[in-house]
Amino acid sequence: MEKRTIGSLDVTVVGLGCNNFGTRLDQKATTNVVRAALDAGVNFFDTADIYGGTKSEVMLGKALGKRRRDVVIATKFGMPIDDTHFGAKPSYVRAACEDSLRRLGTDHIDLYQLHYPDQTVPIGDTLAALQGLIAEGKVREIGCSNMSAVQLKEAKIAAGTRAAFASVQNQYSLLAREPEHDGVLETCEELHLGFLPFYPLANGLLTGKIRPGEPPPQGTRLASMPSDRSAHWLSVELQQRVATLLEYAEEIGVPLLTLAYSWLLSHRQLSSVIAGASTPEQIRANAAAAVTLDDAVIAKLNELSA
């Protein structure tokens, strides 16, 4: 499988998002998905301390076992685990890292990401703590998530001559193209940041399995999602856009899943597409979805999803 870079890290263009581990999947199912990913050539696994109520990291570490040395693990900190475990103060950065290392069963984290900006802490203080973890060999590269172009530039200045963020993870898909318009993709180019899209398949809308006007199939994330959250994804506007994309996919004989993955990867700023999977079949389908699209197809997708 093709690889791209995040700083010094070489990651496969298809990664595995691990937010299902500890919620929809138990340890056995998690191990099956992880092994299928490894067999498909995937080397990039993205999790977070809050996923699965801290269980995701534990389950990923157990599933990888001796294959830990063969993969790149990304995890995140900062979102509230409880009333006391959250934020980006230097003392918490170090404590959160130690907790993640223990849960993952490893001596280092390849990509350690600030999950959400903490407006109460100067970004320079957070970066200093992360730079200390790099100096100690506990972290290889650092990244961030949910940050604007302005915040990324401020963080770059604050990092000075020491290690800076190597990646940013924001929402991006055929149904959510904000990074093209809010300056984030342009800033990634300017600062040499790898971009990692979350919700790359729009919570399943771009898999081709959810048909507009029909209820989400049982077992899908949308089917089990609370109505206050699913209302956005099942809105008339998004359903109409999905219908248009499905019609085009059927017209050219290319699965919508393939179009969704490969359109994202046509952007040189992207390092990897890290969609989740709840079965081995899903991760195998994701791994096979990364292909090179013709310029005409990319142009048409841009038009249809504008």
User: Taking a C-beta distance cutoff of 8 angstroms, is the pair 106, 78 a contact?
Assistant: no
Give me the pLDDT at residue 215, please.
Answer: 82
Task: Give 12-75 as a DSSP string.
Answer: ESB-EE-TTBTTTB-HHHHHHHHHHHHHTT--EEE--TTGGGGHHHHHHHHHHGGGGGGSEEEE
Residue 112 lies in a domain: yes
User: Taking a C-beta distance cutoff of 8 angstroms, is the pair 121, 88 a contact?
Assistant: yes
Residue 87 lies in a domain: yes
User: What ranges make up the beta strands (E) of 166-239?
Assistant: 167-171, 194-198
Nearest Cα residue to 233 out of 203, 258, 206 = 203
What's the rounded Cα separation, in Å, for the pair 83 and 66? 35
Per residue in 3-41, pLDDT (tens digit) is 999 999 999 999 999 999 999 999 999 999 999 999 999
Residue 51 a catalytic site member: yes
Chain position carrying tokens 């990319």: 298
Residue 209 lies in a domain: no
User: What ranges make up the beta strands (E) of the chain?
Assistant: 3-6, 9-12, 16-17, 44-46, 72-77, 109-114, 139-145, 167-171, 194-198
User: Taking a C-beta distance cutoff of 8 angstroms, is the pair 233, 222 a contact?
Assistant: yes
Nearest Cα residue to 10 out of 277, 280, 271 = 271
- Which residue out of 51, 116, 199, 248 is catalytically annotated? 51
Residue 274 lies in a domain: yes
How far are the Cα atoms of 22, 94, 216, 249, 290 from residue 243, in angstroms, in the given order?
33, 47, 14, 10, 22
Residue 62 lies in a domain: yes
Residue numbers of the chain with a pLDDT score lower than 70: none
Give me the pLDDT at residue 233, please.
Answer: 85
User: Taking a C-beta distance cutoff of 8 angstroms, is the pair 141, 159 a contact?
Assistant: no
- Cβ atoms < 10 Å from Cβ of 43: 21
For 156, the domain range is 3-202+256-292
Residue 92 lies in a domain: yes
Domain of 119, CATH number, reads 3.20.20.100
How far are the Cα atoms of 103, 107, 165, 255, 293 from residue 143, in angstroms, in the given order?
20, 18, 5, 32, 29
Residue 101 lies in a domain: yes
Return the amino acid letter for 233: W
Residue 60 lies in a domain: yes
Instruction: Check residue 168 and give left, alpha or beta (phi > 0: left; psi -120 to 50: alpha).
Output: beta
Number of domains in the chain: 1
Give me the pLDDT at residue 11, please.
Answer: 98
Give me the pLDDT at residue 210, please.
Answer: 82
